[in-house]
Every structure is written in structure tokens, then in C-alpha cells.
Amino acid sequence: MRTLPQENSHTRLPIHVITGFLGSGKTTLLNQLLHQPAMQHTVVIVNEFGEISIDHLLIKATTEDMMILEGGCVCCSVRSDLLNTLEELSRKRLAKEIQPFEQVLVETTGLADPAPILRTLINDPFIATHYRLDMVITTVDTVYGAQQLDEYDESVKQAALANHLILTKIDLVEAATVEVLKQRLRHVNPTAITHEINLNQHTLDASILFNSGYYNSETRQLNVERWLQADVYLEPQQDTQDATHAPLPAPLHENERHPDDAHEPLRHDAYIKTFCIEHAEPLHWLTLERWIQQLTRLRGKDLLRVKGIAYTYETDLPVIIQGVQHIFQPPATLDAWPSDERRSQIVFITRNIEKNVVERVLHALIDSKTPLDVCQAALILLGQ
């Protein structure tokens, strides 16, 4: 049996990320959150203090890049990079130079691609020891949201990686416009919780946004069903054709169009694919490793998010799989299976990688007998 470390996210401090395109209201949202009791014992990391209205909340400035706010909230500015800021905060917390904090909230810039930020949070050894990525909250401007999804890849990624989608400025558009935008967002991200709000008149409850419910309060074990939501991604089977024999679509890169699309506007969200790969039989660990290695090495930039549990021969326990683009966390095991049924369930959010391609690679590796077979599996990803 293979021995892997136990999944211990519940022992680390949660990091929440607020993102959203320029003018979508994320700073307004953050200003609201800073007033709420649920934000006590929270560190807020922003790019510039000047963007946040905190003067009336300020108790004292401890350094030029850190402020203590009412209610025990700490606000700090990123002066070098996010990792250094988080390490410094952890050091100050341990040395009792600041009040103990229980969670971290990071606000990104409006043009930020959130994927590299999430990748950094799951890849750095220090962060992995002290913190864990929890909620991603994305604000979406209902006035310009559709146009931004059409024109900006960053806007699509912000929506695709969110746990909560905050639709703002709903008072400025027709209800039908909001509904069309919601339908597009459901295609990009079918599991996100959607909130429709006019931030100038109403306030979102911070305790709702940041209470993931991912961990059982008694056992402290990850609630896999809530964290994964695999059933949402499982499509009704249209036929019983074996995935290994399904036709491979021609590769289409993000800036390419089919000839009959010549007069259609480029829609970046059209390339987002969300699906769940299930496999009932146990997998050899070597097969699982090769599968992930081929996906990350050949199509890593298009793997926006991967998460799930794997059923393997090498351990009786479910193995947590989690990655962003070409970076995956070291595997860990849960205490027990969430149900009597044992199977691999891995959710993918990709950019222009089809479900049947990922399945074909897996089946090819399961059936591989020689190094040449492994290479042939890789060629599937290259569309050859």
C-alpha cells in the first residue's frame, strides 16, 4: 500500500480571493465587507490603500503597508509580491505583533488573470503549510459583462474559477439582459452561487460568502460532495459508445475560428469546457501520474482548474487531486470514503480541451503496455 499524507486543509487558514473586471464593483463590495462583524479577525490584502475607503475604520498604522481596522481586521498592501506578504503576516501573527487572524481576503486588480494567483497559492511550500485556498468571489458588471466575456480572456477566467458570482448594477439593465448573462455564466461555471445585487442600495452578508461548508464541523473531514459537486458536471449519456473510440475533434485554439464563424464576434467563453471524469475501477498510481503529467506538460495553460478524488490500487483511502494549470498539489488522502461507492471523480474546468479527449488519454494509458503506448496516448492531446 502507498502511504500518502492525510488531507489537512481544516488546520490551515483559509484564503479568499475577490476578483472581477474593471468597474464591476469589487472595491465597493470590499468596502461593504469591511464594516461587517464577520470580517473580524480577517486580513485584507489590497493593491493600494487609496482604492479602499478605510479612513473611518482606521485605528492605527503599524507600518507603511499595514493598518489595523476596527473589529480586529488587518488591512495591508502588497509591496513586493503576494507570497512575501503572506509570509510576513504569518511571522507577525506568530510573534504576536498583530492580533491573531482567522482568514485572509485578497483583492486582485481588475485586469488580473486569477489562475496564476490560485496556482501560486497551491504551489508554494510555505503557503501550503500555513494557508489554504477557499473561496473565489467574482463581481460581474451586468451592463458590460457580456461584452467583456466576448473580448477578454481574463473576464472569462474570473467567472470560470468563482465559487460566488456577484452580478452588479442590475438596476441599470433589463431583467431579460440579466437572464441572458446568467445563462452564459452557467455555461462557463455551472456550480457557482449567483447573487444579483445593486451594491449601492444593498449589502451582501459576508458570513454567507465566506462560509464554504466544505468541512464537517464534527469530523473536520472534507465534505467531498459539497466541495466537488460532481453531479452537476455529469451529463446524461447520449449514447453508449466507448470513449476510447469516440471521434477526436480537430484542435481549435483560442484565436482560431471555423470558416462559418467568420462573421460572428469572438466569444472567449465559448472555449470554456466543464466536465467530470468518472472511473469505477481502481487506477494504478503510475497511470494516474502519467495522465496528469501529460495533461500538464502538453496542455497545462488550458487546465484552469482540476479537482477530485481518485480510487487507486495503492491505497484503500480516497486520494485528493487538485491543480491549477500546470501545477498540482502533492496528493493527500481523506480519512474515509464519503459513501459506500468507491470510484474516481475528477472535475475539469478547461479552455478548449474536450471531455472525450481527456477520457481517451486516460483509457490509452490504462491499456498501455510499452513506452510507445504511453507516447501514443500523448499524441491524442496534440490532435494527431
pLDDT at 68: 56
Grid cell listed for 39: 470580517
User: Using CA atoms, how far apart are residues 125 and 256, in angstroms rounded to an integer?
Assistant: 38
pLDDT at 307: 95
Compute the half-sphere exposure of residue 304: CA atoms within 13 Å on the CB side of its CA: 25
pLDDT at 234: 76
pLDDT at 48: 59
Angle at 209 between CA 206 and CA 215, to 5 degrees: 115
Q: What is the DSSP string of 156-171?
A: HHHHHT-SEEEEE-GG
User: Using CA atoms, how far apart are residues 293 and 18, in angstroms rounded to an integer?
Assistant: 30
Q: Which amino acid is at 152?
A: Y
> For residues 167 and 194, is the Cβ–Cβ distance under 8 A?
yes
Domains belonging to the chain, first-starting first, are 9-210 (3.40.50.300), 232-250+266-381 (3.30.1220.10)
User: Using CA atoms, how far apart are residues 100 and 333, in angstroms rounded to an integer?
Assistant: 29
Grid cell listed for 119: 496556482
Mean pLDDT by 10 residues, the chain (384 residues): 74 91 89 85 75 52 57 61 87 87 88 86 87 93 94 93 96 95 94 93 89 72 84 59 36 41 59 94 96 96 95 94 92 89 95 95 96 94 75
User: Using CA atoms, how far apart are residues 357 and 381, in angstroms rounded to an integer?
Assistant: 7
**pTM to 2 decimal places:** 0.82
